[in-house]
């Protein structure tokens, strides 16, 4: 006979689940509203979604409980809190993009907003747990919502993208489960900290099994983080989905992936088993170099941004490899700064979204589309230029500070060769970002019709772009407080 289990309600630490509960509640209430009244404006749903996100953000910011909750399944440490803040802020900046000048089918449907909130909840679970099963559930909730949202764009390319992402994602999910299974078989636990303890006492024997588990996990996370050689889906999926969603996808799912990678791999690298460090080293170098090289030859701005986001992910993954507090803080600093520049760049593409492919049969945003933009729309061209220079890592714009901090973390911890590779990659990346700048500033315009560039403009979009460009250009004054906050959170959770 089983012993009765006594649960003290206080020990459950319910408040640790409050942020996710708010987003899930928000999703459900949007579905209910849609059930009761039809034909509500998309602006209502957008604003409601933002409100729920803000409420959830409030719950995260005001959290003062124990870091463990719910039978130790939930882990709300500094990193979890900070990542949730990043995810929620990015989401709050993304949702208003639905209010573009043109009508799109997906934004008219309430389901889109409900799925969006479910996705946020999924990511929130994923980052605030070190239980492999809960991480998996969070990952899948988020991914399934995301696949559907991509498909809701309802173009042939969007369907292709969704299916491609789904099949690849399913494979990655399989890898994840296999890896968890192996770790469970080895240690009898699915909690990362316990796995670490048991592996430590067993001195990482049998090595083959640990290796297999790690490789499967690297594959699974590699898909999510679009690391080479698991990156093949990225450009097609970005191209197929709307620019706004592509920008979102290049930021939020990845930060969630980074957190899981940090929790798992840094434990394993800390073990002193050399091969993992080597595998990760190769992966990081390959990812940034390959992403940069392929980005050089792209003819479409969106595909170029997709490959460049692969390179950025590789760059940031180096923080996991280095593994010190400084490097981990650098990861978050980089990603926050990258988020604004990247979101801005994709929003600029979103603004120029046109019903037809006017410039090229194959691509929505070929480089030639932006020819001579400075003559037609100087302000837009300058703003896009700022985002490009920021992404390229030109000082004094945002991403430069992240690069600087990460490279200095590499130098300070003896990874000088890695720092040099990072520097050379930055030099390579400048070329393709500059290609767009050259088209915008130095070439003659193809058409003087301003309206084709602004068909999707609206005040809301302008405000979002304004925020992004402001943060990108004055980031030099933001780095200090941001870094203080990030370092504080990272040290709190012991990374």
Partner 1 sequence: MDHILSLIIFFPLVAGIFGFLVNKDSIRVYGITVAALEFFLTLALWVSFDGNIAGFQFVEHVTVISHFGMSYHLGVDGISLFLVILSTFMTMVALIGLSIKKDAKNLIISVLYLEMTMVGVFLSLDVILFYLFWEFSLVPMLYIIGAWGSDKRIYAAIKFFLYTFAGSVLMLVGILYMGYLYHATTGVWSFSIPDWQLLVLPFNTQLWLFGAFFLAFAIKVPMFPFHTWLPYAHGQAPTIGSVILAAVLLKMGTYGMVRFLLPLFPDATIYFLMPIAIVAIIMVIYAAMVAYAQEDMKQVIAYSSISHMGIIILGTFAINAEGITGSIFLMISHGIVSGGLFMLVGCIYDRRHTKNMSEFGGLAISMPTFATIYGIMLMASVGLPLTIGFVGEFLSLIGFYKVSWIMTLIAGTGIILGAIYMLTLYKRSFFGEITNEKNRGLKDLNGRELVALVPLVALVVILGIYPKPILTPIDASVKKMIVLMEKKAVTQKAKDFIIKVNTIKGGE
Q: Which residues are at the interface with partner 1 (CB under 8 A)?
A: 374-375, 378, 389, 394-396, 404-405, 407-408, 411-412, 416, 419-420, 423-424, 426-427, 430-431, 434, 437-438, 441-443, 476-477, 479-480, 483-484, 487
Backbone angles phi, psi at 86, to 5 degrees: -60, -45
Give whichever of 19 and 344 is closer to partner 1, judged by the CB atom. 344
Give whichever of 206 and 396 is closer to partner 1, judged by the CB atom. 396
Nearest approach in angstroms of CB 430 to partner 1 is 5
399 to 41, 438, 466: CA distances (angstroms): 37, 20, 17
Specify the DSSP element, H or E, that contains 423.
Answer: helix 416-442
Residues forming beta bridges with residue 69, ordered by sequence position: 74
Give whichever of 59 and 418 is closer to partner 1, judged by the CB atom. 418
Give whichever of 31 and 404 is closer to partner 1, judged by the CB atom. 404
Specify the DSSP element, H or E, that contains 391.
Answer: helix 378-392
Nearest approach in angstroms of CB 336 to partner 1 is 15
- Which residues have CB under 8 Å from 347's CB, separation 6+? 97, 243, 244, 247, 461, 464, 465, 468
* Burial class of 336 by CB neighbour count within 10 A (0 to 12, 13 to 18, 19+): buried
DSSP string, 298-311: -SBHHHHHHHHHHH
Give whichever of 273 and 394 is closer to partner 1, judged by the CB atom. 394
Nearest approach in angstroms of CB 362 to partner 1 is 24
Nearest approach in angstroms of CB 264 to partner 1 is 27
| Residue carrying structure tokens 């292709």 | 160
Give whichever of 171 and 438 is closer to partner 1, judged by the CB atom. 438
According to DSSP, residue 270 is labeled H
Give whichever of 66 and 450 is closer to partner 1, judged by the CB atom. 450
Nearest approach in angstroms of CB 414 to partner 1 is 10
Nearest approach in angstroms of CB 484 to partner 1 is 7
Give whichever of 170 and 411 is closer to partner 1, judged by the CB atom. 411
Q: What is the dihedral of CA 229, 405, 308, 357, to 10 degrees?
A: 150
Neighbours of 477 (CB within 10 A): 8
356 to 155, 173, 238, 300, 359: CA distances (angstroms): 12, 36, 18, 15, 9
Nearest approach in angstroms of CB 26 to partner 1 is 37
Residue 40 and residue 247: Cα distance in Å, rounded? Answer: 27
- Which residues have CB under 8 Å from 141's CB, separation 6+? 118, 119, 121, 122, 125
Give whichever of 185 and 442 is closer to partner 1, judged by the CB atom. 442
CA of residue 205 relative to chain centroid, distance: 35
Q: What is the dihedral of CA 84, 86, 90, 91, to 10 degrees?
A: 0
Give whichever of 136 and 405 is closer to partner 1, judged by the CB atom. 405
Q: For residue 101, what are its two tokens?
A: 């000048």
Nearest approach in angstroms of CB 405 to partner 1 is 7
Give whichever of 145 and 475 is closer to partner 1, judged by the CB atom. 475
Q: If we measure between CA atoms, which residue out of 485, 387, 377, 402 comes closest to residue 436?
A: 387
In terms of DSSP H, where are the helices of 6-131? 9-12, 18-36, 42-61, 78-94, 105-108, 110-127
Nearest approach in angstroms of CB 477 to partner 1 is 8
Nearest approach in angstroms of CB 37 to partner 1 is 48
Nearest approach in angstroms of CB 460 to partner 1 is 25
- Which residues have CB under 8 Å from 354's CB, separation 6+? 452, 455, 456
Nearest approach in angstroms of CB 277 to partner 1 is 21
Give whichever of 248 and 415 is closer to partner 1, judged by the CB atom. 415
Residue 322 and residue 327: Cα distance in Å, rounded? Answer: 6
| Residue carrying structure tokens 């520097």 | 423
- Among left, alpha and beta (phi > 0; psi -120 to 50; other), residue 154 is left
């Amino acid at each position: 006979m089983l012993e009765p289990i006594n649960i003290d309600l206080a020990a459950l630490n319910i408040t640790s689940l409050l942020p996710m509960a708010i987003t899930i509640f928000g999703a459900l209430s949007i579905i209910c509203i849609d059930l009761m009244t039809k034909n509500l404006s998309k602006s209502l749903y957008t604003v409601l979604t933002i409100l729920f996100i803000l409420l959830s953000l409030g719950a995260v910011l005001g959290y003062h409980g124990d870091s463990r909750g719910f039978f130790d399944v939930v882990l709300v440490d500094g990193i979890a809190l900070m990542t949730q803040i990043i995810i929620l802020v990015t989401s709050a900046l993304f949702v208003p993009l639905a209010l573009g000048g043109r009508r799109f089918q997906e934004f008219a449907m309430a389901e889109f907003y409900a799925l969006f909130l479910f996705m946020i909840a999924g990511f929130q679970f994923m980052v605030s747990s070190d239980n492999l099963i809960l991480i998996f559930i969070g990952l899948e909730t988020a991914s399934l919502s995301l696949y559907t949202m991509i498909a809701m764009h309802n173009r042939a390319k969007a369907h292709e993208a969704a299916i491609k992402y789904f099949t690849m994602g399913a494979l990655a999910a399989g890898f994840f489960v296999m890896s968890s299974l192996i770790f469970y078989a080895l240690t009898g636990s699915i909690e990362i900290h316990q796995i670490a303890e048991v592996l430590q006492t067993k001195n990482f024997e049998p090595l083959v099994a640990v290796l297999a588990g790690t490789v499967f996990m690297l594959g699974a996370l590699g898909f999510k983080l679009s690391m080479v050689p698991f990156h093949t889906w990225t450009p097609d999926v970005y191209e197929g989905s709307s620019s706004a969603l592509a920008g979102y996808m290049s930021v939020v799912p990845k930060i969630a992936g980074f957190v899981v990678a940090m929790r798992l791999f840094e434990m394993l690298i800390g073990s002193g088993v050399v091969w993992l460090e080597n595998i990760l080293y190769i992966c990081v170098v390959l990812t940034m170099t390959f992403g940069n090289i392929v980005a050089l030859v792209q003819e479409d701005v969106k595909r170029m941004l997709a490959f460049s986001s692969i390179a950025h992910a590789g760059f940031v993954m180096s923080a996991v490899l280095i593994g010190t507090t400084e490097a981990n803080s650098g990861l978050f600093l980089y990603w926050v700064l990258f988020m604004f520049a990247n979101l801005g760049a994709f929003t600029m593409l979103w603004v120029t979204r046109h019903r037809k492919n006017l410039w090229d049969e194959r691509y929505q945003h070929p480089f030639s589309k932006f020819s001579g933009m400075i003559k037609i729309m100087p302000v837009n061209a300058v703003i896009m230029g700022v985002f490009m220079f920021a992404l390229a890592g030109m000082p004094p714009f945002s991403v430069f500070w992240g690069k600087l901090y990460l490279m200095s973390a590499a130098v300070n911890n003896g990874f000088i060769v890695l720092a040099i590779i990072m520097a050379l990659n930055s030099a390579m990346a400048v070329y393709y970002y500059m290609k767009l700048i050259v088209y915008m500033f130095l070439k003659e315009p193809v058409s003087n019709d301003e309206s084709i560039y602004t068909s999707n403009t609206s005040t809301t979009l302008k405000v979002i772009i304004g925020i992004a460009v402001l943060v990108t250009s004055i980031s030099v004054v933001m780095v200090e407080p941001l870094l203080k906050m990030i370092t504080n959170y990272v040290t709190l959770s012991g990374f």
